[in-house]
Structure 1
């Protein structure tokens, strides 16, 4: 199974949800997905922390293909390495939405034939932001397993049609903000 192969390759971090849904042949994942691996740290092949991850990813696997990919990226430029690594695993009708830290305006775009929604994101939980964007509330998830909640998000994403400008991916790269965010936490 594709999800198991990601786990075996150490491409999954900060797991929140990982497993089969109540639908046959459908698995769900929530957590971080490695985009750019860290350097090899020692002779045993252990790696340093990843250089880039798809934060708070929501992945839905149907028949060993990714049918939904959502999550947060710090930089718009990380979409290209993400696609280089995972493009072969995407279903033909994959639904993709990324919340991007350095994006200045929301857009529809396409990369290598895959259509996606890109939205600016400053802070907060991606899952909750996506719930708000898709106009889903807690009642929509009531009584569902954690894995089945990812299916509900995918169904909401299928109906999500915001009125954003459609631009080529190369043009979307020009909507990058140069604003540096403050680092928060202990001093």
Structure 2
């Protein structure tokens, strides 16, 4: 399998066949940034996916600088962490939307010193959630190609500084 990414952050994921259904899988309009939009396979049996995923990484970085996507259940967070492994880092911006969280729930959950924003999602898309959450201009976004949309979302996410209640994964399980 040939790798289309020059970014080390995506090479292992691509080699393992985890990057599925890509609408974008390569350089974005920001020089030195690589992006992905599609699904990320977390486990094979049973199949678990990070759906509607957006991810970016810079040139020579081994870790993703930004990641967002949707999980069908909060209980799949450990599978996400395991699948991403060394491709995530402290200081990255990671937004995981979860279908079975109460609509008012917004948490930051740390795994091995890496913080994840864990947020509820209803019947809307991750794309629409991110546009609203990051206060991006919907009309401008409609006119952009996929690469520019990924850049705009990543730029908004990388600037995001809002803090939420920090809880452990186990505490989150108790609140389901």
Provide TM-score, normalisation by structure 1. Answer: 0.78
Partner Cα separation in structure 2 for residue 168 and residue 24 of structure 1: 37
Q: Which residue in 2 is equivalent to 1:110? A: 110
Structure 2 stretches lacking a partner, 5+ long: 1-6
Q: Secondary structure at the match of 1:27?
A: strand
Cα displacement string for residues 36-65 of structure 1 (whole angstroms, at most 9, x for unaligned residues): 113xxxxxxxxxxx6100000001021242
Partner Cα separation in structure 2 for residue 150 and residue 75 of structure 1: 24
Q: Which residues of 2 match residues 81-96 of structure 1 at below 5 A? A: 81-96=79-94
Maintained 8 Å contact 1:56/1:126: yes
1:58 paired to 2:54? yes
Partner Cα separation in structure 2 for residue 79 and residue 10 of structure 1: 19
Provide TM-score, normalisation by structure 2. Answer: 0.82
Q: 1:135 to 1:109 in 2, by over 3 A?
A: same
Cα displacement string for residues 50-100 of structure 1 (whole angstroms, at most 9, x for unaligned residues): 610000000102124211111000111211111112120124421011100
- Superposed CA RMSD in Å reads 2.1
Q: Which residue in 2 is equivalent to 1:72? A: 70
Partner Cα separation in structure 1 for residue 172 and residue 51 of structure 2: 20
| Larger of the two Rg values belongs to structure | 1
